[in-house]
Amino acid sequence: MGSSCFARGNEKIVALCESFLAARGLKDEVDVVLGASLCAGNCAKGPVVIINGKTHTHVDEGVMTDLLEDLFPAKGQ
């Protein structure tokens, strides 16, 4: 949530994560912390999202949805 990533839409990414987890009923099942930090030092490649210590760059809503689907596949898949 540094200013560059924020300006590029990271607040939408956080909202997407929250709604995805709610829709999948995962908020009470998994230990997820949606945290915001200051600049990750990679502004030119933002928005930047860090998941389990791995940095993802150029994360738009489509990329974030793919990341979430990989992390939390729908039951039955």
Interface with ligand FES includes 4 (CB under 6 A)?
Answer: yes
Q: Which is nearer to ligand FES, 24 or 56 (CB)?
A: 56
Stretch that binds ligand FES, among 19-27, 38-46, 59-67, 68-76 (CB under 6 A): 38-46
Interface with ligand FES includes 39 (CB under 6 A)?
Answer: yes
> Three-class SS string for 10-75?
HHHHHHHHHHHHHHCCCCCCCCCCCCCCCCCCCHHHCCCEEECCEEECCCCHHHHHHHHHHHCCCC
Window 41-60: contact mask with ligand FES (x via CB under 6 A): xxx--x-x------------
